[in-house]
Amino acid sequence: MNNLKGLLRIRIKRGVNLAVRDINTSDPYIIIRMGKQKVKTRIMERDVNPEWNEDLTIFVYNTELPIKLEVYDHDFFSTDDKMGDAEFDIQPFLEGLKMNLKSVPSGTIITRIKPSKSNWLAEESCITWRDNVVVQELCLRLRNVECGEVEIELHWIDVPGCKLV
């Protein structure tokens, strides 16, 4: 646990208008990478608007590293096709975690992040105090592909003996 800051739970909610890579459809799955770590969702067969609602958890050692999200189309008889990718920074989310929010009402928006050329946001992202935890919802526009967005949600998990600061 040397240098471990905590765990980041990434809820992969859904894909919207993902690219077609098979005949009229795709079999998408998502890979999340941070540094040398890699986690993967299950494959959603024949669905360009999949609803994963799947939690992936990664160890956070270096809070400066971006998180990379890649979408692929699963193929049985050939190499999986790439369906786009995006990156996101967890620094604004981590700043929200450092705030003293115990007396703030649930549902309070802490920070809003607007889409820009330096991020892959398809729409404004809100970092919210909800049910005594900080949560960030993101809708990421996929790059290197003709269309597609992925909606995710970030949650932090404290690990005893580890400090975020």
Tens-digit pLDDT profile for residues 115-147: 988 888 999 999 999 999 999 999 999 999 999
Tens-digit pLDDT profile for residues 13-25: 999 999 999 888 9
Pairwise CA distance, residues 119 & 92, whole Å: 12
pTM score: 0.94
For the chain, give the percent of residues with pLDDT over 70.
99
pLDDT at 1: 52
Which residues, 6+ apart, have CB-to-CB distance to 61 below 8 Å?
3, 4, 5, 35
> Does residue 79 surpass a pLDDT of 90?
yes
pLDDT at 23: 85
Distances in whole angstroms, Cα of residue 7 to Cα of each of 42, 87, 159, 160, 162: 21, 18, 7, 11, 10
Pairwise CA distance, residues 5 & 58, whole Å: 11
